[in-house]
Amino acid sequence: MQTYRNTLNGTLVDPVSCYEIFNPANGQSLGMAPESDEQEVDRAVQSAKLAQNSWAKQGDKERRDVINRVAQILEENSDYLAELITREQGKPLSGPGSRFEMQACVGWTQVPASLDLPPEIVYEDDERKDTLHRVPLGVVAAIAPWNWPLMIAIWQIIPAIRMGNAVVLKPSEYTPIATLEMVRLINQVLPAGVLNTVTGDGSIGSKLTHHPEINKIMFTGSESTGRRIIEASAKNLSPITLELGGNDAAIVMPGTNVKNIANDLFWGAFLNMGQTCACIKRLYVHEDDYDAVMAELSAIASQMKIGDGMDESVLVGPLQNKMQFEKVQELVSDAKTSGCDVREFGEVPDQGYFMPLTLVGDIKDGQRLVDEEQFGPALPIIRYRDLEDAVESANGLDAGLGASLWADKPAEASKLATRLEAGTVWINQHGAIHPMVPFGGNKASGYGVEFGIEGLKAVTQSRVVSLKK
Ligand code: NDP
């Protein structure tokens, strides 16, 4: 059985202890993952600290070249890493699955490499000239989740190193293998110590975020862990970027041609079996359009093949882990016992964390499947009569990562868009992130943004040089 290893200071290290990783589609063993201890966390942070100095001193062009070579390595190893993602995380190779995740990794590496944050003259007159420089923060702790393990790790790693920081990454305990392999591969072109990993459960994440030499924390995950990260950051006054998921609402505006939008609505909700931070998690539909929406989504759901994502014809895989599987089952069973109209689609294999694609009608705000983030393939569809009520419902929860409006006349949706309390409001699409466009949450979905120029600024501190003329 293969034992995967952490990378510290450019070297693969033999683990002190290990734990086994299983394929969520069939329960088969995938190998052993290392379990870091406190000493290893400290070694990783010290390696990063040492490497960061010289990495930051390298010229901008050199850093950019190295990152472009990282993109090349990701591209060359896409098939290998995509297979590992499918076996470990569960998303299929095909469709918007693990190959798609690898394409995103490449794109989100190339774009930051192409961007610049040159010094900016913020004020000048006859007597003075003030120039704002963006300098690195130092060592970045990156805490990644299990839903898009490589893509989200790349979102954290690449802007950080582009701006001259060094990184210690902790993947989720559920999905360390593909991430460790990706880090091993890209370390072939990175200077030793610029990117290190530690592995284990949340307690290792906690040791990392509490380490006295951490200068910035980037976190994607649950709100409850996010609150612990904020507490940890108090120790070093580390700035944080927090992406805490959400409970995204989508509103189909009255009279919208449902046929035109059904496919995008479906994938907006069921991408990665719904285990995506910015998926549609509550769908609000005008009462006159409700039957049409149900019919169109049912037709699409009933055509999907559910199974092991290594099969090229499969577009829907298992949930990633038992915790998530049980959580979604519980929410669906609550909806069933409350008398909702629960419609299940797809033939589900006997073993693995598979669930049917589930549409839940006759459900209202205040019920668990609507109010709690399901993070799985069970979509509540809620009728509304008055568009104002739908807007109020969409804004009625604490979460505010994404939201969307669906309309035949986008101009009408645009008028409403800024009233939705979310970091991104999409029109006639959902979750359509882009490496140039800032992405982050409002309200309890976190703070700070990733991507584009704003994302680069978030991994720097400003230093003003003020000259008397
Ligand atoms: P967590 O927030 O616990 O996990 C995210 C990452 O944080 C993991 O690497 C985890 O490690 C790490 N972590 C856990 N505790 C700490 C800590 N005290 N200090 C530092 N790092 C820590 O999410 P879960 O996996 O428990 O999932 C719970 C729910 O969160 C899901 O049901 C879903 O609703 C939501 N979620 C949202 C995501 C998003 O994209 N926004 C992604 C994943 C989950 P480890 O996993 O090893 O414990």
CATH number, domain at 88? 3.40.605.10
Are both 211 and 290 inside the same structural domain?
Answer: no
DSSP-derived secondary structure letter, 439: B
What is the Cα 153 distance to its own chain's centre? 8
| Rounded mean pLDDT, 30-46 | 98
Q: Are both 328 and 240 inside the same structural domain?
A: no
Longest dimension (CA), the chain: 77
Ligand 1 atom nearest to CA at 144:
9
| 266 conformational bin, left if phi > 0, alpha if psi -120 to 50, beta if neither | alpha
In whole angstroms, what separates CA 389 from the centre of its chain? 30
Active-site choice (88, 105, 181, 277) = 277
The end-to-end CA distance of the chain, in Å, is 68
Task: Classify strands 128-136 and 120-124 as parallel, antiparallel or unpaired.
Answer: antiparallel
Residue 17 belongs to some domain of the structure: yes
Nearest C-alpha to atom 27 of ligand 1 is from which residue? Answer: 222
As a whole-number percent, the residues of the chain with pLDDT over 70 amount to 100
- Please, is 432 exposed, middle or buried when counting C-beta atoms within 10 Å of its C-beta (0-12, 13-18, 19+)? middle
Give yes or no: residues 124 and 161 share one domain.
Answer: yes
d(CA 264, CA 150): 24
How many domains does the chain divide into? 2
* pLDDT (average), residues 156-166: 98
Examine the domain organization and report whether 161 and 31 are in the same domain: yes
Q: Are residues 253 and 167 in the same domain?
A: no
Apex CA 112: angle with CA 106 and CA 115, to 5°? 140
* Residue 398 CA, ligand 1 centroid: distance in Å: 18
- Tens of pLDDT, residues 197-254: 999 999 999 999 999 999 999 999 999 999 999 999 998 899 999 999 899 999 999 9
Degrees, nearest 5: CA angle 372-373-374: 105
Could you tell me if residue 10 is inside a domain?
yes
Is 277 among the residues known to form the active site?
yes
Contact assessment for residue 248 and residue 258, using Cβ atoms and an 8 Å cutoff: no
**Whole-number pLDDT of residue 201:** 96
181 as an active site residue: the answer is no
Q: Which of 45, 222, 241 to mutate to test the pocket of ligand 1 (most atoms within 8 A of CB)?
A: 222
Say yes or no: 225 and 319 in one domain.
Answer: no
Instruction: Give yes or no for residue 35 CB within 6 A of ligand 1.
Output: no
Whether the CB of 172 sits within 6 Å of ligand 1: yes
In this structure, are 288 and 200 located in the same domain?
no
Residues 173 and 26 placed together within one structural domain of the fold: yes
Burial 299-318 (b: 16+ CB within 10 A, else e): ebbeebebbbbbeeebbbbb
The reply to whether ligand 1 has any atom less than 6 angstroms from the CB of 236 is no
In a domain, 411, yes or no: yes
Q: Looking at residue 400, which CATH number applies to its domain?
A: 3.40.309.10
Expressed as residue numbers, the domain containing 309 is: 249-435
d(CA 265, CA 402): 14
Averaged pLDDT, 101-105: 98
Answer yes or no: is the C-beta of 243 below 6 A from any ligand 1 atom.
Answer: yes
Does residue 118 belong to any structural domain of this protein?
A: yes
Q: What does the pLDDT read at residue 465?
A: 98
Mark 236-270 as b/e (b = at least 16 C-beta within 10 Å). Answer: bebbbbbbbbbbbbbbbbbebebeebbebbbbbbb
Quick check: 188 and 176 in contact, CB under 8 A? no
| Cα(271) to centroid(ligand 1), Å | 19
Cβ 446 under 6 angstroms from ligand 1:
no
Smallest Cα–Cα separation from 172: which of 76, 275, 287?
Answer: 275
The model's pLDDT over 109-160, given as tens digits with 9 standing for 90+, comes to: 999 999 999 999 999 999 999 999 999 999 999 999 999 999 999 999 999 9
pLDDT tens for residues 449-458? 999 999 999 9
Instruction: Output the pLDDT for position 235.
Output: 86
Q: Do 270 and 396 share a domain, yes or no?
A: yes
Q: Is 373 in the pocket of ligand 1 (CB under 6 A)?
A: yes
Is residue 1 included in any domain, yes or no? no
**Is 197 a pocket residue for ligand 1 (Cβ < 6 Å)?**
no
Distance 420 CA to ligand 1 centre (A): 26
- 206, 253, 205, 244: which is closest to 224 by C-alpha? 244
Distance 86 CA to ligand 1 centre (A): 20
pLDDT tens sequence across 352-404: 999 999 999 999 999 999 999 999 999 999 999 999 999 999 999 999 999 99
Say how many C-beta atoms besides its own lie within 10 A of residue 29's C-beta: 11
Among 243, 296, 373, 421, the one annotated catalytic? 243
- Domain membership flag for residue 440: no
- Quick one: which of 168, 212, 213, 177 has its CA closest to 21? 177
The pLDDT of residue 245 is 83
Same domain, 72 and 189: yes
345 shares a domain with 237: no
Q: What is the pTM of this model?
A: 0.97
- Looking at the fold, whether 79 and 142 belong to one and the same domain comes out as yes
Torsion of CA 452, 454, 455, 461, to 10 degrees: 140
CA–CA separation, 311 vs 452, rounded Å? Answer: 35
Cβ atoms < 10 Å from Cβ of 298:
16
Evaluate: CB of 376 within 6 angstroms of ligand 1: no
How does the average pLDDT of the chain come out, rounded?
97
Stretch (H or E) spanning 65: helix 60-76
Q: Say if 371 falls within a structural domain.
A: yes
